[in-house]
Amino acid sequence: MKHLLFSVLMMLFAPNLLATDMPLNMTQGVTEISSKVYHLHMVILYICCAIGVIVFGIMIYSMIHHRKSKGAVAANFHESTKVEIAWTVVPFIILIIMAIPATKTLIAMEDPSDADLTIKVTGSQWKWHYSYFDHDIDFFSILSTPREQIEGKEAKGEHYLLEVDKPLVLPINRKVRFLMTSDDVIHSWWVPAFAVKKDANPGFINEAWTKIDKAGTYRGQCAELCGKDHGFMPIVVEAVSEADFETWLASQQQLTEDKAQQAQAALNQTLSQPELMTLGEQVYLARCAACHQPNGMGLPGVFPGLVKSPITVGKVGAHIDIVVNGKPGTAMQAFANQLTATEIAAVVTYERNAWGNDTGDTVQAADIEKHGQQEAQ
Amino acid sequence: MNTANETTLDGHNQGADNDHEHEPMPTGIKRWLFTTNHKDIGTLYLWFSFIMFLTGGAMAMVIRAELFQPGLQLVEPNFFNQMTTVHGLIMVFGAVMPAFTGLANWLIPMMIGAPDMALPRMNNWSFWILPFAFLILLSSLFMEGGGPNFGWTFYAPLSTTYSPDSTALFVFSVHIMGISSIMGAINVIVTIVNMRAPGMTWMKLPLFVWTWLITAFLLIAVMPVLAGVVTMVLTDKFFGTSFFDAAGGGDPVMFQHIFWFFGHPEVYIMILPSFGIISAIIPAFSRKRLFGYASMVYATASIAILSFLVWAHHMFTTGMPVFAELFFMYCTMLIAVPTGVKIFNWVATMWRGSITFETPMLFAIAFIILFTIGGFSGLMLAITPADFQYHDTYFVVAHFHYVLVTGAIFSIMAAAYYWLPKWTGHMYDERLAQWHFWSSVISVNVLFFPMHFLGLAGMPRRIPDYAIQFADVNQIVSIGGFAFGLAQLIFLAVVIKCIRGGKQAPAKPWEGSEGLEWTIPSPAPYHTFSTPPEIK
Ligand code: HEM
Ligand SMILES: [Cu+2]
Ligand SMILES: [Cu+2]
């Protein structure tokens, strides 16, 4: 009710409070292809407008001049083969003229050969995973807009819902090939500035490509309904010069190595329960809360709650197992390759002690590692 | 039983020589439950459709209220998805299709000079299973886990592995809707083929009858495909098959091929009868014969045939081979030709006519202009490279609402105003009706036109929250939406007022209208054309 009242008030007073300029037309984008697509769009739009002006013009003319109140008397004609052939053939010719550039552009768009760089894009509920072929770099890219902004408890930032924790970084002036796939339902990877929109189908691989002309940050969104948080899985691409890209690649490779070392070191580390709980809460809110909800209650009938559930207050092993391996055939993903052992240990500890679960259990990175080894045997 | 009732409703004006015996007509609820009369069944269908229109409309209001401003205010994303899904299903299967079947029931026998539909008992069934289908669908919203939340297009595997348990109810209700549609379609075909009055040759059929005949063939061709695909969803989800699951050798994209092989003809199922309605109304109020009758028939038939060759234009981004994309692009562009022929014919009919602007004509004119705008955006969507940018954005939402709301639904309202005097025996309140028209036509454009811009600016469809830049336009759209919703209450008022009373309608209330239905008194007697009329 309060919301409703608020909405009504907003309607009356605030049409311009949030004014940011929205472009009213398709973007020209920053690639040769996107500019071709834009021009196709404009040509077909102009053709439609021209036909519209003629047809509606004639119609409005007769609405004004051929009205009964003006004394118009109805004529008697009701067919004319010549006219009818004309208005079948002329549109046909216009369509052929339109089809020629459309065909050319389409064929160019669908040719991903001779790429300089290949990136595998994997959608899953509700995040993107990028993996750079031949570079041993891969990471997840997740919405970074804070929940408070979405729920209206904080002012919304400039890039509300179009910001991620770690953007995809691409070089300009190089042909980049994307291989799209999905781990669960169908998603669709769309960046308007590149005119690339391609479905990520589970179990299949789709190809697309782009060659960016201008450095900058480009934003897009998932375009195929993929469940509850379909509106919350944006795409951010950072396009940088080729030199900067090489530097970035090197820094990422370093990062990967450092992380591996850290993870190795963490295996021998024992964290205190408060430490685990703090880290666990962070991980939980970022990765788990979308389904199981921040308060652990889940959505009855859709996503199970974790409060006093058989898993979270039952055997530790089973709990670790479902987080590490997921549950096939459901939305529960395998987090083994998404989180480090320390993070998994922390989040399991958190789930076992938060919301009154109070099992008192602590799980360490080494336990996760042990679980993996037992499995391997 | 109630003989007074019987005599008032049964005018016996078709000459005294009718040899049929009437059973006494039941009264009250029984009359409607057991009726086999095409007029009663038509009325039931029309009221049912209107109730569904309001139900689906209420869901649209929830959607527009949530989208009134950025952020999550009123509903959870999961519930939002249920609203978009059920809104779509209800409007397509509950509002538009039953309205056309209702019009077919009322009008086809009267237009071809037949005493009733050919299969009256089946007619009763095909209506009475419908309310159950929708009760099942709506009740699933109250199940644990909620109702269907995968979009009206229910793409797998979102609708299989990842869907709520209520999916079984969704599947079952779609089965019932399909059975109802198929029975209705069989009835229409059998009636038109067998029960035309002597002399009512094919090329004399009113266009509404022609377009419905073709629609009925489309229905029979594609409703089983829909039934098949929902069954595959059911077995994938509950019985371990893998039609759409790559892990078991299936293919999720195959779902889309099957669905759209139904889905594209389906959109023509929802527009061909409109073409028939508009082809009756434009000549009537232009006081001039329809231009190009024969080409109208051929155009309808070619649209119907082409509609089987374009389904994959909904799937350009799924990763089809280039030659397939080209094939579907060309075929889709081709559909614009016969569609254009129709528009040109209507304009040529108005040209040098003697036009008046009663409410049916206003809706018909709005139909021509706004449906054409929807056709233009359809043509734009057909251009595959551009569709990569438009697809799954508000541009598509704008497109299909122009063709379905200002197309199909406006034609249904035009039809209601045009034939209300025949159905009720009273003239509707013209002033109130004009209020309905003007408030609808203005609000509907505030509602749907800015959606084109949202789509071009990059707003995806089916999202409960959006980036800040889309805020202003969404606000305008929502205001248009609330206004359009309210405006439909005026329609309800006009119809109720017209049923209750009003100026007595003559047999032929519109100066320029033509057809057998205008040769019988208003209100149309309970039984008409018990003896076939004379056709000149
Ligand atoms: C000139 C005629 C038309 C053409 C060329 C055309 C073309 C298209 C194309 C290419 C799409 C796919 C857009 C996309 O998803 O990217 C589309 C969507 C759609 N069209 Fe049309 N269309 C035409 C007329 C109609 C008519 C007459 C109707 C219904 C009365 C209609 C209803 C729809 C619907 C419901 C969708 C969206 C379905 C969905 O994804 O939910 N269209 N149209
Ligand atoms: Cu999505
Ligand atoms: Cu289509």
Please give the ipTM for the structure prediction. Answer: 0.90
pLDDT at B242: 94
CATH number of the domain bearing residue A177: 2.60.40.420
| Within-domain flag for A144 | yes
Q: Which of A67, A188, A197 is closest, CB to CB, to B389?
A: A197
In a shared domain, residues A288 and A225: no
Average pLDDT over every residue of B47-64: 97
In a shared domain, residues A175 and A242: yes
Which residues in chain A (184-223) have CB-CB distances under 8 A to chain B?
184-186, 188, 190, 192, 195-199, 201-204, 206-207, 220-223
How many domains does the structure of chain A reveal?
A: 3
Residues facing A132 on adjacent strands: A119, A137
Does B446 score more than 70 pLDDT?
Answer: yes
Pocket test for ligand 1, best of B91, B269, B278, B314 (most atoms within 8 A of CB): B314
pLDDT at A367: 86
Taking an 8 Å cut-off on Cβ atoms, the answer to whether A102 and B385 are in contact is yes
For residues A123 and A224, what is the distance between their CA atoms, to the nearest angstrom? 11
Assign B84 a pLDDT band (cuts: 50, 70, 90). Answer: very high
What angle separates helix B130-139 from helix B167-194, to the nearest 10 degrees? 160
Taking an 8 Å cut-off on Cβ atoms, the answer to whether A226 and B289 are in contact is no
In a shared domain, residues A198 and A331: no
In a shared domain, residues A228 and A292: no
| Inter-CA distances, A140 with A65, A131, A192, B224, B498, Å | 65, 9, 21, 43, 63
Compute how many other C-beta atoms are within 10 angstroms of the C-beta atom of residue A147. 14
For residues B469 and B480, what is the distance between their CA atoms, to the nearest angstrom? 19
| Inter-CA distances, A175 with A10, A142, A188, A340, Å | 47, 25, 20, 33
Residues of B in contact with A162 (CB under 8 A): 467
Taking an 8 Å cut-off on Cβ atoms, the answer to whether A18 and B318 are in contact is no
- The residues of B carrying an active-site annotation are 87, 116, 152, 180-181, 264, 266, 268, 279, 313-314, 339, 342, 461
| Within-domain flag for A52 | yes
Q: Are B265 and B335 in contact (CB under 8 A)?
A: no
Assign B4 a pLDDT band (cuts: 50, 70, 90). Answer: very low
Q: Does A70 touch chain B (CB under 8 A)?
A: no
Parallel, antiparallel, or unpaired for β A117-124 and A176-182?
Answer: parallel
Tens digits of per-residue pLDDT, A223-243?
999 999 999 999 999 999 999
CB pairs under 8 A between A and B: 329
Site of tokens 């059998």: B190
Pocket test for ligand 1, best of B300, B311, B376, B381 (most atoms within 8 A of CB): B381
B375 lines ligand 1 (CB under 6 A): yes
Tens digits of per-residue pLDDT, A256-282?
888 888 888 877 888 888 888 989 998
B314 lines ligand 1 (CB under 6 A): yes
> What's the DSSP call for residue B355?
B
pLDDT at A7: 53
Compute how many other C-beta atoms are within 10 angstroms of the C-beta atom of residue B412. 24
What the block records as the tokens of B485 is 């919703």
In a shared domain, residues A121 and A255: yes
| Within-domain flag for A154 | no
Assign B1 a pLDDT band (cuts: 50, 70, 90). Answer: very low
What the block records as the tokens of A16 is 């311009």
For residues B129 and A134, what is the distance between their CA atoms, to the nearest angstrom? 60
Q: Which of A55, A184, A186 is closest, CB to CB, to B372?
A: A55
Does A165 score more than 50 pLDDT?
Answer: yes
Does A163 score more than 80 pLDDT?
Answer: yes
Residues facing A207 on adjacent strands: A179
Compute the distance from residue B310 Cα to the ligand 1 centre, in Å: 10
Compute how many other C-beta atoms are within 10 angstroms of the C-beta atom of residue A185. 29
Domain range for A125:
117-148+159-262
Amino acid at A4: L
For residues A365 and A276, what is the distance between their CA atoms, to the nearest angstrom? 10
Site of tokens 């233009």: B376
- The Cα of B473 is separated from the nearest Cα of chain A by a number of Å equal to 9
Site of tokens 């459309």: A102
| Within-domain flag for A73 | no
For residues B421 and B504, what is the distance between their CA atoms, to the nearest angstrom? 8
Tens digits of per-residue pLDDT, B109-148?
999 999 999 999 999 999 999 999 999 999 999 998 899 9
Name all domains of chain B by residue range, CATH numbers in brackets.
6-519 (1.20.210.10)
Q: Please state which of the ranges A115-124, A194-203, B22-31, B455-464 shows the lowest mean pLDDT.
A: B22-31
pLDDT at B22: 57
Q: Which of A3, A66, A230 is closest, CB to CB, to B73?
A: A3
Three-class SS state of A178: strand
Average pLDDT over every residue of B359-380: 97
Assign A328 a pLDDT band (cuts: 50, 70, 90). Answer: confident
Q: Please state which of the ranges A109-113, A191-195, A207-211, B260-264 shows the lowest mean pLDDT.
A: A109-113
For residues A75 and A71, what is the distance between their CA atoms, to the nearest angstrom? 12
Dihedral class, residue B426 (left if φ above 0, else alpha if ψ from -120 to 50, else beta): beta
Which residues 6+ apart lie within 8 Å of B258 measured at CB? B225, B228, B229, B232
In a shared domain, residues A61 and A13: yes
Residues facing A181 on adjacent strands: A122
Which residues 6+ apart lie within 8 Å of B232 measured at CB? B241, B243, B244, B255, B258
In a shared domain, residues A245 and A336: no
